[in-house]
Amino acid sequence: MAIKKSGGLGRGLGSILPDIDLEVAQGNTVAAAISSVPLDKIVANPFQPRKEFDNEALEELAQSIRQQGVITPITVRRMPDGTYQLIAGERRFRASQLAGLTEIPAYVRVATDTQMMEMALVENIQRENLNAMEVALAYKALIEECRLTHDQLSERVGKNRSTITNYLRLLNLPAETQLALSTDKISMAHARALINVEDIDRHLEILHAIIDRHLSVHQTEQMVKTAKKAPVAPVRRRGELPSAHAAAQSRLKDYLQSVVEIKRSQRGKGTLTISFNSDSDFERILALLEKK
């Protein structure tokens, strides 16, 4: 006889798979869904949204498991080849391996690929152990792969629609800003302020200021306001002429038909050099300059 689900796995998981008998078909028999599953029979979840795991945190969890065991079962689905594909609980699974366990308690579920993806993403989002970029990518995957509307997604994960929209907007940030956010060099609040700076040079300038000068969110918002009001001066490389000087150098070359070089320091001082090939060439250039 199948075992009825006695404890919820979270509102999100329950909304994906209705309250059904927790059971899985194994040949012609039916096994109880809650059972001990050999760790070496469990394979990774291809839909796992979390890409980075804190080794120190895993070791702490492993120590807890050594002392108290696995309190909350993981969730898996049985595959045709006899293995179990992980749906939710990868941290518990990895920590159990570190703890030296051979088996782990698990809910064995019946799920399609789409349901499995949705359960994995929702479970991770609800546990709030993803960084902001991972959450944004998880929301995008749920919308695109599971064909959910923003309203449906809001119901699945128990978040306001505006919250989901704010996360999805992060995917429009430049790659460098996304990387800074995913590595905790800036916060989501910093990133939300930066979204409003469309000029890429100014955007990256403010990003680097946040990181280098440890700007607060308020300071960042003030820089963004200033950037939106004032035109952004083009960023010049060291030794590169300002556009006005470069244009003048080009005009002089064309007019004098000679090599002209302008050098300028950061303080505005510089030299103007006009080359000539002979005395007659010098007289020609001088005549043009006097005429000009």
Per-residue pLDDT of 257-281, as tens digits, reads 888 888 888 777 888 888 888 888 8
pLDDT at 31: 36
pLDDT at 157: 78
The distance in angstroms from the start CA to the end CA of the chain is 103
For residue 76, what pLDDT is reported?
A: 87
> Is residue 131 helix, strand or coil?
coil
**67 and 115 share one domain:** yes
Both tokens assigned to 224? 């963004």
- In the chain, which ranges are continuous DSSP H helix? 11-16, 55-68, 90-99, 113-127, 132-145, 150-157, 161-169, 175-182, 188-194, 200-213, 217-229, 243-256, 279-291
| Amino acid (1-letter code) at residue 249 | Q
Do 38 and 114 belong to one domain? yes
DSSP state of 40: G
pLDDT at 137 over 90: no
Answer yes or no: is pLDDT of 18 > 60: no
Domain span holding position 201? 183-229
Q: How many CB atoms lie within 10 A of CB 164?
A: 21
* 99 falls within a domain: yes
Query: Does the pLDDT at position 12 exceed 50?
Result: no
Tell me which of 197, 229, 261 is where a domain ends: 229
CA 171 to CA 132: how far, in whole Å?
10
CA angle 215, 224, 209 (to 5 degrees): 35
In a domain, 141, yes or no: no
Report the distance separating Cα 180 and Cα 143, nearest Å: 25
Asked whether residue 146 is assigned to any structural domain, the reply reads: no
Three-class DSSP category at 87: strand
Band (pLDDT 50/70/90 cuts) for residue 15 is very low
Amino acid at the residue 75: T
| Assigned domain for 194 exists | yes
| Residues 260 and 209 both lie in one domain | no
113 and 7 housed in the same domain: yes
Query: 21 and 113 share a domain?
Result: yes
Are 119 and 191 part of one and the same domain? no
Q: Which token pair is 185?
A: 């060099």
One domain, residues 218 and 249: no
Look at residue 10 and tell me whether its pLDDT is greater than 50. Answer: no
Do residues 106 and 197 share a domain?
A: no
For 237-262, letters b (16+ CB in 10 Å) and e give: eeeebeeeeeeebeebeeebebebeb
The lowest-confidence range among 32-41, 206-215, 226-235 is 226-235
pLDDT of residue 116: 72
- Clarify whether residues 113 and 13 are in a common domain: yes
Give the active site residue among 23, 90, 118, 134: 90
Q: Is the pLDDT of residue 175 over 50?
A: yes
What pLDDT band is residue 48 in, cutting at 50, 70 and 90? low
Same domain, 11 and 56: yes
Residues 109 and 187 reside in one and the same domain: no
Q: What is the pLDDT of residue 86?
A: 87
Tens digits of per-residue pLDDT, 181-193?
988 899 999 999 9
Calpha distance 211→33 (Å, rounded): 49
* Helix (H/G/I), strand (E/B), else coil: 78: strand
Provide the number of structural domains found in the chain.
Answer: 3
C-alpha span between 104 and 87 (Å, rounded)? 14
The letter for the amino acid at 29 is T
Residue 201: the pLDDT is 87
176 carries an active-site annotation: no
The reply to whether 213 and 256 lie within a common domain is: no
Q: Are 115 and 14 in contact (CB under 8 A)?
A: no
Indicate whether 173 belongs to any domain.
no
In a domain, 236, yes or no: no
Residue 68 resides in a domain: yes
Residue 83 domain-assigned (yes or no): yes
Cα atoms found within 13 Å of the Cα of residue 112, Cβ hemisphere only: 6
